[in-house]
Structure formats: structure tokens, C-alpha cells
Amino acid sequence: MTETTSDAGGARRAPRRRRRVLRWILGGLGALVVLLVGGILIYSQVGVMAAEAGPLAEVRADPALSTADEGAGIVLIPVDGGTGEGLVFIPGAKVDPWAYAAVLRDAVVDDGLTVVITRPWLNLAFFDPRPLSTFTDLAPGVDAWAVGGHSLGGVRACQLAADADALVLFASYCATDLSASGLPVLSLSGSDDLLSTPEKIRDAAPLLPPDAIFVEIDGASHASFGAYGPQSGDGTPSLAREDVAREIADELRELPYETR
């Protein structure tokens, strides 16, 4: 009888032990998820590279373009109505979207390009699942859209390229295979870029269509494609930002949109 009672007590305790172990496991997993999410939130908000005040003030004071912060993106529109062509531009990781307005200003003012600079979720393009239409809808008067981006933003642009008429990479490269897409592609890089180096861009070139256009801007660094100051790990540019912006505008003007 004693052994029978002991066996019965052990049988009753076993499910309770299993439930305690399960609670410990679930509690540990829950804590891990909270720590992971909290870590991502902190990382995404700390060290964001702000737009330089001077270049941004010049953009906002320029009477030849209008600027509007629409929440999902910043819209730059030429006051003369433009060419009917546009660029959705995705910022690099943890860079203020306004930092790109000064570099893209010439393309808007001189060449009539409408530009929408997106505001990625958590300042990181990879965490932004919104489709291209979220941003093109901000400028309904545009007939043909290119999508592009700087650094990590360019990697995300490659993922959205199927819905665009052209792709532009600014110191970036694709992780998506677009080699058979037939999409017009322009890849802009800097000779002094130590982050998206010319070698990395060449190594990723087979993922782009065979007729992709590659332009290396002599004297440009990684941060030359924005106006947010020097970037850790980057090279030192020997070409002024204004000259880089002019070269970017010149190349964008020649971009052969698919709908042409």
C-alpha cells in the first residue's frame, strides 16, 4: 500500500513539474523577444545621422522647388511641373531622410525630376514592408517612376524594383537577382567609398541586367551621396558635395525609363 500511494503521488507531481518547466521556457522566450525588440528599437534611434543645417536651409529656401513632408515621405516637386518622371529614394540606415534633399536638389530644379524621399520604419529600410505605391501615391502627377536608394536603402530598392520603371543605386548594390528583369539600371558609386567599395559593387554586378550602367564618381565617398557629414569607416572625399550632386543630376537625366 505504501508503494502504491507513493507512485500515485509521484504521478500527480509529474504534470505539475512539466507545467512549471513549460512556464519557465515560455517566460524565458518572452523575455528574449522583449530584449530583442527593445534592442532593435534602441539601435534604430541612437546615432541617427542628421541632415546638415546649411544645405537643408538652402533647399527649403529655393523658390524653384516645393517641399512637403507627407509623413510617409518627403516630396520635392519642381515648381514648373516637371517632366512627368519621378524617383522614389530610400535613405541609408539611420540617416535622416532630409539629408538627401540637398544632393537631389539639382535633379529637381534643373531637370524637372519629382523626388519622394521615404521615411523608413525604425530608420532602417529592411523593417519597412510598405509597397512602392505607398510613396508614388504622394505625387500622383508622375507618369514613370524609378526607385533607388543609398547604401542599405539601395538594397531595399532592389526588392521593390519589379514595380518600377527603372532602378538607381547610390553607393549600393543588390542582394536580389534582377539579371533577367530587363529593367533599366543605373549604378552610381564613389571612388573614395570605403563602405560600399567599388570592389563590392563589381562583385554584385552579375545580379543586375547585362546592360546596367555603372558610373564611378571620382573623388566621392559613401557620405558624398547625402548631406549628413562624415560617416564612420568611410573614406575622405576629394570632390565637393555640390559637384557630386551635379554629376548625380547629369546621370539621372540620361536614365532610360522603361516606359519611354
Could you tell me if residue 81 is inside a domain? yes
Is pLDDT at 59 greater than 90 in this prediction?
Answer: yes
Could you tell me if residue 258 is inside a domain? no
Could you tell me if residue 124 is inside a domain? yes
- Residue with more model confidence, 27 or 257: 257
pLDDT digits (tens, 9 = 90+) for 234-249: 999 999 999 999 999 9
Residue 163, number of CB atoms within 10 A of its CB: 13
CATH of the domain at 241: 3.40.50.1820
Asked whether residue 112 falls in the same domain as residue 128, the answer is: yes
Is pLDDT at 152 greater than 70 in this prediction?
Answer: yes
The per-residue pLDDT of the chain, averaged, comes to: 90
Residue type, 69: D
Q: What is the mean pLDDT of residues 138-144?
A: 94
Asked whether residue 153 falls in the same domain as residue 188, the answer is: yes
Asked whether residue 87 falls in the same domain as residue 179, the answer is: yes
Cα–Cα distances in angstroms (integers) from residue 191 to residues 125, 177, 221, in the given order: 25, 25, 7
Asked whether residue 76 falls in the same domain as residue 29, the answer is: no
Could you tell me if residue 154 is inside a domain? yes
Distance CA 154, CA 225 (A): 12
Place of cell 531637370: 111
Q: What is the mean pLDDT of residues 62-73?
A: 96
Q: Which of 46, 61, 77 is the last residue of a domain?
A: 46
Cα–Cα distances in angstroms (integers) from residue 113 to residues 99, 141, 187, 257, 258, in the given order: 18, 12, 18, 12, 16
Is pLDDT at 23 greater than 90 in this prediction?
Answer: no
Asked whether residue 197 falls in the same domain as residue 231, the answer is: yes
β-partners of residue 27 are none
- Per-residue model confidence (pLDDT) at position 43: 45
- Per-residue model confidence (pLDDT) at position 32: 60
- Residue with more model confidence, 207 or 127: 207
Q: What percent of the chain has pLDDT over 70?
A: 86
Could you tell me if residue 175 is inside a domain? yes
Asked whether residue 100 falls in the same domain as residue 8, the answer is: no
Asked whether residue 62 falls in the same domain as residue 42, the answer is: no
- Residue 183 grid coordinates: 529593367
Residue 240, number of CB atoms within 10 A of its CB: 12
Asked whether residue 187 falls in the same domain as residue 225, the answer is: yes
* Contact status, residue 52 vs residue 60, Cβ threshold 8 Å: no
Residue type, 84: G
Q: What is the mean pLDDT of residues 4-25?
A: 67
- Per-residue model confidence (pLDDT) at position 42: 47
Q: Which of 46, 63, 78 is the last residue of a domain?
A: 46
Which residue range(s) make up the domain with 205?
A: 53-253
Instruction: State pTM to two decimals.
Output: 0.84
Q: What is the mean pLDDT of residues 62-77?
A: 96
Could you tell me if residue 260 is inside a domain? no
Q: What is the band of 95 on the pLDDT scale with cuts at 50, 70, 90?
A: very high
Residue type, 13: R
Asked whether residue 77 falls in the same domain as residue 1, the answer is: no
- Residue 9 grid coordinates: 503521488
Q: What is the band of 34 on the pLDDT scale with cuts at 50, 70, 90?
A: low
Asked whether residue 141 falls in the same domain as residue 14, the answer is: no
Asked whether residue 143 falls in the same domain as residue 240, the answer is: yes
Asked whether residue 99 falls in the same domain as residue 209, the answer is: yes
Distance CA 64, CA 229 (A): 25
Specify the number of domains making up the chain: 2
Is pLDDT at 7 greater than 80 in this prediction?
Answer: no
Q: What are phi and psi of 110, to 5 degrees?
A: -90, -30
Q: Terminal CA-to-CA distance of the chain, rounded, Å?
A: 92
Q: What is the band of 33 on the pLDDT scale with cuts at 50, 70, 90?
A: low
Q: What is the band of 17 on the pLDDT scale with cuts at 50, 70, 90?
A: confident
Q: What is the mean pLDDT of residues 85-90?
A: 98
- Per-residue model confidence (pLDDT) at position 25: 80
- Per-residue model confidence (pLDDT) at position 123: 85
Could you tell me if residue 187 is inside a domain? yes
Is pLDDT at 259 greater than 50 in this prediction?
Answer: no
